[in-house]
Amino acid sequence: MALIVQKYGGTSVADPDRIHAVADNIAITKRRGNEVVVVVSAMGKATDNLIALANSVSSKQPGREMDMLLTTGERQTAALLTMALADRGVEAISLTGSQVGIITDTEHRKAKIIEVKGDRVRAALAEGKVCVVAGFQGVSTAKEITTMGRGASDLTASALAQAMDAESCEIYTDVTGVFTADPRIVPQARKLQKIHFDEMLEMAGAGSKVLALRSVEFARNHDVPLHVRSAFTWEPGTWVTNEEASMEDPIISGVVTDMTEAKVTVFGVPDRPGISAAMFEPLADANVNVDMIVQNTSTEGTTDISFTMPMADMAHAEEIVSRVAGEINATGVSHDNDIAKVSLVGAGMKSSPGIAAKMFRVLADESVNIHMISTSTIRVSVVCAAGDMERAARSLHTAFGLDSGADYSAPLPTRK
């Protein structure tokens, strides 16, 4: 008998019809002889609606009260789904994060998991029941209800899968798996059958929205295989695992596009020790997630510093940057929302040189002007004009052999 954790995202449980479809799938999984732990998100846009409600009554929104509010979304789904299971003769019980013993730190709205007790899950499974757990939430060491950040139901699922030593963790969503590119931008994109955690992490970091970054981190660190799949077509999706790539695997796994960042440039920054710290420490303290940073070499004692950050944090960051720019005697600040980030991700890069060079050649041939570049061992990212993003992504997808299913292999290094 296998223990399977199934997580259903917001679109998968958005209305009563969807809840019926999901209940059918759980019933089938159970009747096949599996033990099933289900983790649910809030229905459709329920969390956004709760946040909008809070905005309309309060500008302060104390974290504790926001968590009391936001956790109701997942609780609603859990109770409704459990009722639908009862109609199907499937014995089930809904449980909150607190009831299953997901213990977190005390940081409201972005709490971190400290421990998963899971006693009530074990007890319910022993009685032959399906457990339906409200995702995204826990209880703090100070006994307060907490939430773990937007999209954190994925994290609940991987944490429970690890705590229960599940055979696998299925993440049901509205796409059929992880693709070589966003199919809305690159129509030739293909679904990947499998991908390594490290690549999935880089993709999430580069702006892919399929899985929440923290849940991938957690699953990788605890070696919980994830199966990302559709709750609409129910077809097999993409496995995310620790399995090492084989020789036959393509060097590049995907092209990731991201339009959610903005670029800030600070001009005429004095070139002396401590300036970068003075600029980026206050941004870090304000929780602004700075991504790429480029500093030019100085001419006549001053330099320009550019960096990217989420557009959503702009209003907040703008004040900080202007204030610091004044303090350090920089000559000016500009920002540009009209940018996009295009990244190539592939574990094969480690052993095959020349990927970045080929990428730049492809972009040059498409007349895409590169504003910034950053790399990791398995990723190369560039920032370009937003209007160039689609062309850049499509041409890279083709050039690296992702369109046809043909694998791109770098030319072998020539022996001297």
Residue 348 interacting with ligand ASP (CB under 6 A): no
Binding string to ligand ASP for residues 207 to 236, with x set by CB under 6 A, is what?
------------------------------
Q: Which stretch binds ligand ASP (CB under 6 A): 39-47, 158-166, 201-209, 370-378?
A: 39-47
Residue 153 interacting with ligand ASP (CB under 6 A): yes
| Gap between the Cα atoms of 266 and 322, Å rounded | 9
Contact of residue 150 among ligand ASP, Mg ion, none (CB under 5-8 Å per partner type)? ligand ASP
Residue ranges with strand state E in 247-371: 254-258, 261-270, 293-295, 302-310, 332-336, 339-345
CB closer to ligand ASP, 151 vs 348 = 151
How many alpha carbons fall within 13 Å on the CB side of residue 251?
Answer: 21
Chosen residue from 6, 11, 12, 41 binding ligand ASP by CB under 6 A: 41
Chosen residue from 138, 151, 346, 348 binding ligand ASP by CB under 6 A: 151
Residue 136 interacting with ligand ASP (CB under 6 A): yes
CB closer to ligand ASP, 210 vs 266 = 210
Nearest distance, CB of residue 104 and ligand ASP, angstroms: 14
CB closer to ligand ASP, 10 vs 348 = 10
Q: What separation in angstroms does the CA of 173 have from each of 4, 37, 63, 102, 268?
A: 16, 17, 28, 23, 47
Residues of this chain that interact with Mg ion (CB under 5 A) are: 9, 41, 151
DSSP string, 72-121: HHHHHHHHHHHHHHHHTT--EEEE-TTTTTEEE-S-TTS--EEEE--HHH
CB closer to ligand ASP, 97 vs 250 = 97
Residue 146 interacting with ligand ASP (CB under 6 A): no
Residue labelled with tokens 């956790």: 71
Interhelix angle 389-399/355-365, rounded to 10 degrees, is 130
| Gap between the Cα atoms of 88 and 188, Å rounded | 41
Nearest distance, CB of residue 33 and ligand ASP, angstroms: 29
Chosen residue from 14, 26, 29, 73 binding ligand ASP by CB under 6 A: 73
Residue 42 interacting with ligand ASP (CB under 6 A): yes
Nearest distance, CB of residue 102 and ligand ASP, angstroms: 13
State both tokens at 337: 């929302």
| Gap between the Cα atoms of 312 and 159, Å rounded | 28
Q: Which stretch binds ligand ASP (CB under 6 A): 149-157, 240-248, 337-345, 349-357?
A: 149-157
* Residue partners of 273: CB distance under 8 A and separation at least 6: none
Amino acid in position 413: P
The H-or-E segment that residue 375 falls in is: strand 372-376
Chosen residue from 20, 150, 190, 391 binding ligand ASP by CB under 6 A: 150
Nearest distance, CB of residue 260 and ligand ASP, angstroms: 16
Q: Is 149 exposed, middle or buried (0-12, 13-18, 19+ CB in 10 A)?
A: middle
CB closer to ligand ASP, 150 vs 194 = 150
Residue labelled with tokens 């937003």: 386
| Positions that interact with ligand ASP (CB under 6 A) | 10, 41-42, 47, 73, 135-136, 150-153
